[in-house]
Amino acid sequence: MQINYSDQPVITGKKSIFLAGPTPRGENQISWRKEACAILEKLNFDGVVYVPEYSTWHPKEDYTDQAMWERLALTEATVICFWVPRTLPDMAGFTTNVEFGYWLPTKKVIYGRPDYAKKIKYLD
């Protein structure tokens, strides 16, 4: 498995999973994507995993290049896995709603959420 972070060039031409969903904004929040990557590793996934976070796992300071990286990685992805662990106010993930709706018609979307997720009926 090869993890491709948003502070690296997008890897193209390989089977891949994009881990879509809310990104922690604070230093004290642990990204859900760490566990997702560990699960994929345990399952012996042998493709690219697009992680729209810095390789240091620290919150971003500048988002100017993030949107273009995500657009290319989402377009390139074989599967877009949306995980929406919505809690308010720290992991609202409202941008995720827009992204989910945009990519849903591509038929490469998988959606999941924990039982405790708030304000999620529309995505369900």
Closest CA to 114 of 78, 81, 85: 85
CA-wise closest residue to 36 among 89, 82, 105, 102: 82
Per-residue pLDDT of the chain (124 residues; tens, 9 = 90+): 999 999 999 999 999 999 999 988 777 788 999 999 999 999 999 999 999 998 887 766 666 788 899 999 999 999 999 999 998 888 888 889 999 999 999 999 999 999 999 999 999 9
What is the pLDDT, as a whole number, of residue 24?
A: 84
pLDDT score at 41: 98
* 25 within a domain of the structure (yes/no): yes
pLDDT at 62: 64
Residue 89 falls inside a structural domain: yes
Taking residue 103's Cβ as centre, other Cβ atoms within 10 Å add up to 18
Domain count of the chain? Answer: 1
pLDDT of residue 77: 98
Residues 52 and 62: their CA atoms lie apart, in Å, by 13
CA–centroid distance for 54 within its chain: 12
Domain contains 49: yes
CATH number at 93 reads 3.40.50.450
Residue 62 lies in a domain: yes
Does residue 118 fall inside a structural domain?
no
Alpha carbons 71 and 50: distance in angstroms, whole number: 11
Q: What are phi and psi of 31, to 5 degrees?
A: -70, 135
pTM above 0.75, yes or no: yes
Asked, for residue 84, whether it belongs to a domain, the answer is yes
On whether residue 117 sits in a domain, the answer given is no
Range of the domain at 80: 2-112
